[in-house]
Structure 1
Amino acid sequence: MGNTIITIGRQYGSGGREIGRKVAEKLGIKCYDKELLAVAAKESGICEELFENHDEKPTNSFLYSLVMDTYSLGYSSAAFSDMPINHKVFLAQFDAIKKIADEGPCILVGRCADYALADYPNMVSVFVHADIQARIRRIARIYDLTDAKAKDIIHKTDKKRASYYNYYSSKKWGEAAGYNLSVDSGILGVEGAVKMILDFVEIKESTPEPKL
């Protein structure tokens, strides 16, 4: 592997986190999921518990342009101090994602990482999805839930992730055209999805950049 950074968006219950960790293991690089929250907390000085409470949850209405303008001013600015906590959390994660990516190849799961790294030519964005029945079976098995409860959690979690992503990014969560690679783990299984991502990265790294 060269210097590729892989971002993984995922439907709840599709196995995206497990797939990300397995890809990282195969490549010998780090995978950041919840670990990203600790990095963001350390860099920003904001309590890690606040990151956990606001993790990938939809925000209330607020001028998006103001949020991004404040990002350029830094954590010590008066505007940042007056900002709602959910926006502070987003900006701190946005900053942490860039710093992690600058350190070298890695895998970043969720949290608008593909949007944060949109200007990185070495970034590969992946979205992992599966049909609802496959996801229900997975969540019901892992957490020992009824199918009805698993389905309810899946719908609520996906709705939160979509709202969060659609608000903070310029794209639509889960829309295939917004990602370099869309993977159906319901058909491929976890190992098949891992192989597909690895093959895609290998092909990308061996293909010369097109001359414009």
Structure 2
Amino acid sequence: MKKNTIITIGRQFGSGGHEIGNRLAERLDIPLYDRNLIQMAAKELGISHETAETVDETILGKFLSAYVVNMGEYTTFASGEATEPLSDQVYQTQSDIIRRLAERSPCIMVGRCADHILELDFNCINAFIYADKEDRMRRVMKIYNLNEKQAQDKMKKTDKERKLYYEAHTGRTWGSIESHQMLFNVSRLGIDDIVDVLAAMFRARR
């Protein structure tokens, strides 16, 4: 049976990666999965969306590995029992969901180490989106209504969290050419051209 073609998108914060994903989903008429994966994982684990979100693509994931889910609340992992840490539960559940969705139909996955999770069993187009710092900062200031200092701090914090999350789960360097099939600089190419290229690649593989 022919494997579904999946587009996975890694991205620097403020680069426009999510917008590229949304435009591709509209043009190709396929679903896009991003933060809704957190809600799906939370539902399967029987925990709140807020609880799952604290360990999704964040630096807190490592800290919260010292905790487990017990009756929907955090319980200190001190008994020595071999209970899987919360961060690992969320990641594994989210990974299982990503695989099931990829089996169901072609789609776009934004973040969540989807390139690593799907690479062996699916026909993947893996892209990493980045942009010049000044362009990212202007975008973040506009979208989140922040001043320059706030935007810089948010960019630095979010990228650090994404980098740690990706590298902890994949053993690869986040944003490197060794880790991704293609790197696209939005500042040089523009969002429209990147969407055109990825859409053409997707259709060529159908």
TM-score by length of 1: 0.81
Corresponding letter in the other structure for 1:88:
Q
Shift in alpha-carbon separation, 1:98–1:179, aligned structure 2, 3 A = same
1:6 maps to: 7
SS, match of residue 8 in structure 1: strand
2:143 maps to: 142
2:96 maps to: 95
Greater percentage in strand: 2
Residues 3-22 of structure 1: CA deviation (Å, up to 9, x unaligned) = 31111100000011111011
Shift of 1:81: 7.4
- Residue of 62, 65, 69 corresponding to 1:60: 62
1:71 maps to: none
Cα RMSD (Å) = 2.3
Q: Which moved more, 1:4-13 or 1:116-125?
A: 116-125
SS, match of residue 7 in structure 1: strand
Q: Distance in 2 between matches of 1:41 and 1:80?
A: 23
Shift of 1:60: 2.5
Alignment of 1:62-211 (within 5 A): 82-203=83-204, 205=205
SS, match of residue 6 in structure 1: strand
Q: How high is the sequence identity, in percent, across the aligned residues?
A: 39
Shift of 1:154: 0.3
Structure 1 runs (4+) deviating above 4 angstroms are none
Alignment of 1:13-24 (within 5 A): 13-24=14-25
SS, match of residue 112 in structure 2: coil
Residues 139-175 of structure 1: CA deviation (Å, up to 9, x unaligned) = 0111121112111110110000000000011311100
Shift of 1:85: 1.1
- Structure 2, unaligned runs of 5 or more: 66-79
Q: How many residues align?
A: 189
- Structure 1, unaligned runs of 5 or more: 64-78, 207-212
